Chain A
Amino acid sequence: EAQVTQNPRYLITVTGKKLTVTCSQNMNHEYMSWYRQDPGLGLRQIYYSMNVEVTDKGDVPEGYKVSRKEKRNFPLILESPSPNQTSLYFCASSPVLAGLEYFGPGTRLTVT
């Protein structure tokens, strides 16, 4: 089944404790991105990648890192999480830049 998977789905952590949210797609898509969703602010893009080893900042990249070492994986790294990074995170992929974006199930992160 064609899909985007994220892990973990739910995470409660403490300020400053490094964490990684994994994202994987099995559709051989070139374009991948991360979004966060916050009440009143909607969904905003954090980072995107147009292919292996090619990443760039989205609208809200501060406090996040990403890597794209393999085509299928695009992990989101929070090296020192803070409470303002409490949010619902989505990974997405598409075959081409303007193509249909497939979204993962979301990761609900709480930083205390």
Chain B
Amino acid sequence: GIQVEQSPPDLILQEGANSTLRCNFSDSVNNLQWFHQNPWGQLINLFYIPSGTKQNGRLSATTVATERYSLLYISSSQTTDSGVYFCAVKAGGGADGLTFGKGTHLIIQP
């Protein structure tokens, strides 16, 4: 099946810093989503981005489908940005569910 690798696995930053999270995938995809899992365990949808670039406030994402990677940018980090960020993909043609990466654990210190 499709493989998803996220980097870095852990990231500790000071409030106000910018960060870039990366997601590499091993095959062509027709769905790519970025999630933030908050301390209560809820998965918050950030972006649905199988290709192209999107922005939502301080967050933006870019997927280069031909090169099989996606980037999530967080600018001016706040402590509420802490948590685990997951990239999840679905390969073309199948009915299988999303394949999740192992996540990036982000800690924003005040």
A binding-site residues for B, Cβ under 8 Å: 33, 35, 37, 42-43, 45, 48, 50, 56, 58-59, 88, 90, 92, 97-103, 105-106, 108
Contacts and interface: CB of A to CB of B under 8 A. Distances in A.
Residue from A88, A103, A106 with most neighbouring chain B CB atoms (10 Å)? A103
A56 B95 CA distance: 9
B95 A100 contact: no
B30 A106 contact: no
Contacts, number: 55
Contact of A45 (B41, B97, B101): B97
Contact of A58 (B48, B50, B90, B96): B96
Interface string B91-110: 01001111011110000000
A108 B37 CA distance: 14
B80 interface: no
Interface residues of B, number: 22
Contacts of A59: 96-97
Contact of A99 (B31, B42, B95): B31
B51 to A, nearest CB: 12
Given A45-B97, A101-B98, A103-B43, 9 more contacts: A35-B97, A42-B102, A43-B88, A98-B30, A98-B50, A98-B92, A101-B88, A106-B41, A106-B43
B33 interface: yes
A35 B96 CA distance: 12
B95 A97 contact: yes
Contact of B100 (A43, A100, A105): A43
B86 interface: yes
Nearest to A56: B95
A50 B41 contact: no
A105 B42 contact: yes
A98 B48 CA distance: 11
B45 interface: yes
27 contacts: A35-B98, A37-B41, A42-B100, A43-B86, A43-B88, A45-B96, A45-B98, A48-B96, A59-B97, A92-B97, A92-B98, A97-B95, A98-B30, A98-B50, A98-B92, A99-B31, A100-B31, A100-B33, A100-B45, A100-B48, A101-B31, A101-B33, A101-B98, A103-B35, A103-B43, A105-B42, A106-B43
